[in-house]
Chain A
Amino acid sequence: MSENKTITFIITRQDHPDEPSYEEKFEIPYRENMNVISALMEVRRNPVNAEGKDTTPVYWDMGCLEEVCGACSMVINGTPRQSCTALVDQLEQPIRLEPMKTFPVMRDLAVDRSRMFDSLKKVKAWIPIDGTHDLGPGPKMAESKRQWAYELSKCMTCGVCLEACPNVNDKSDFIGPAALSQVRLFNSHPTGEMNKSERLQTIMDEEGLMGCGNAQNCVQACPKGIPLTTSIAALNRDTAIESFKSFFGSDKQI
């Protein structure tokens, strides 16, 4: 029965970062429980397009195959998401695959997400604990707070929120919701809190927090359900207080 059944894919391809993109159609034999990645592997195994012509295998990025690394993100039927958890049976055909064009396209469906990692460096998304001597154990964190912070720590820098954001584009330098939410994560950690001001200062510019226009697509699109817009609003409060303190002056340095 399933011998003749095929799935149709329309894939936006690009041979080189500087070359224009084009669409190519593929007919792939159906197997049960396929995801988009197993379909792409089928194309790689037999790189022949729907017209029966030989073509180059479609290139994409992947890593963990269980939606924790974020590498296989692409736009599937208009929605940016991970291709590993995009099940063929749940998708409308023809299945359209496009790269997340918010990022520089390297080849076919693979994009360069370097800007996200640069943003994490910009906002100091880490807790500095290195010293010349043993600093001892840090302050304790309440279990309830740990559980709450764990939700924020699920971010895998996949880029879906940046793809969904209308303010992240080639006309603006907005760093996007992912890195901002990390500021809230590290600022709420008992040890990370010691560098709270410093971290807030890194996002108090137009490319940072102020780039947000409250379209709130990010929180809808996030595959990990991270409360990104709550993080942004909380940071709006924190930075408002921070700028008040730094302008009018305060002897309280945290």
Chain B
Amino acid sequence: MAGTRGYVNRRLHSLLGVIPIGIFLIQHLTVNYFATRGPEAFNAAAHFMESLPYRYVLEIFIIFLPLLFHSIYGVYIAFTAKNNLGNFSYFRNWMFMIQRVTGIITLIFIAWHVWETRIAIGFGWAELNYQLMEGILTEPFFFWFYIIGVISTTFHFSNGLWSFFVSWGITVSPRSQLMMTYASIVIFVAISYVGVRTLIQFAYGI
């Protein structure tokens, strides 16, 4: 039944955004943050991640397949909405619209980011080290491209976490939903700091 499939797809879309993609995002930003301790620390951390056992299995099932599903189905969701902020400029309606816009920005950013790093490394065009990211981020255009991409990603995750709590019936009462709004703002600020701080390290060495 198409109806049941739609139901499972939506549930899966909501779940995958947090587990595993959201968890991977936090792990990824955390490992990258080693860069603030200098190139050696970053290289050591990156090498550790690179040399994890059955790495391709982890990459395919924890990163690529969930990301592909979440992004393709997400584009479909984004384009079935008809935004109406003109007449309904409420906070949640803004979040609804920004969630869809950041989803598209994040998709473009991640596609480029994966191409430039993981795929380039896979083909042997680049080597995974501090210098790779330094080379990309010292170019002002790409520095700002990454700033927008990272903040868009952290926003999409934080606000998506709020929606996840509603979609799975965890936060039902208006009060619990409001508390979760505050929590998601704190999460957004915290992980944005981690991401942006790392970018500044690569770009300016400070």
Contacts and interface: CB of A to CB of B under 8 A. Distances in A.
A210 B10 CA distance: 6
A171 B82 CA distance: 8
B14 to A, nearest CB: 9
Contacts of B95: 214-215
B79 interface: yes
B7 A213 contact: no
Contacts of A21: none
A243 interface: yes
A200 to B, nearest CB: 11
Interface in A174-213: 204-210, 213
B93 A217 contact: yes
B108 interface: no
Interface string B1-29: 11110110111000000000000000000
A216 interface: yes
Given A207-B6, A208-B7, A233-B171, A213 B84 contact: no
Contacts of A214: 92, 95-96, 162-163, 166-167
Contacts of B84: 164, 166, 217
A220 interface: yes
Interface string A214-243: 111100110000010110111111111101
A23 to B, nearest CB: 17
Contact of A210 (B7, B88, B96, B174): B7
Contacts of A243: 7, 11
A206 B88 contact: no
A169 interface: yes
- Interface residue tally of chain A, by bracket? 35 or more
Contact of A236 (B4, B81, B92, B167): B167
B42 to A, nearest CB: 38
Contact of A167 (B81, B90, B92, B170): B81
A83 B2 CA distance: 39
A206 B81 contact: no
A78 interface: yes
A164 B162 CA distance: 21
B6 A205 contact: yes
A236 B96 contact: no
Contacts of A78: 86-87
B79 A227 contact: no
Contacts, number: 111
A129 B87 CA distance: 43
A79 interface: yes
A232 B174 CA distance: 11
B171 A215 contact: no
Contacts of B171: 233
Given A172-B80, A234-B172, A220 B7 contact: no
Contacts of A229: 174, 177
A121 to B, nearest CB: 15
A240 B164 CA distance: 12
Interface in B48-104: 77, 79-84, 86-88, 90, 92-93, 95-97
A143 B93 CA distance: 35
Nearest to A79: B87
B88 A236 contact: no
Given A205-B3, A227-B174, A215 B92 contact: yes
Contact of A230 (B83, B93, B172): B172
Nearest to B77: A213
Interface string B31-43: 0000000000000
Interface of B: 1-4, 6-7, 9-11, 77, 79-84, 86-88, 90, 92-93, 95-97, 162-163, 166-174, 177
16 contacts: A167-B80, A204-B4, A208-B3, A213-B96, A214-B92, A214-B162, A214-B167, A215-B93, A215-B97, A216-B92, A217-B93, A221-B88, A230-B174, A237-B168, A237-B169, A240-B11
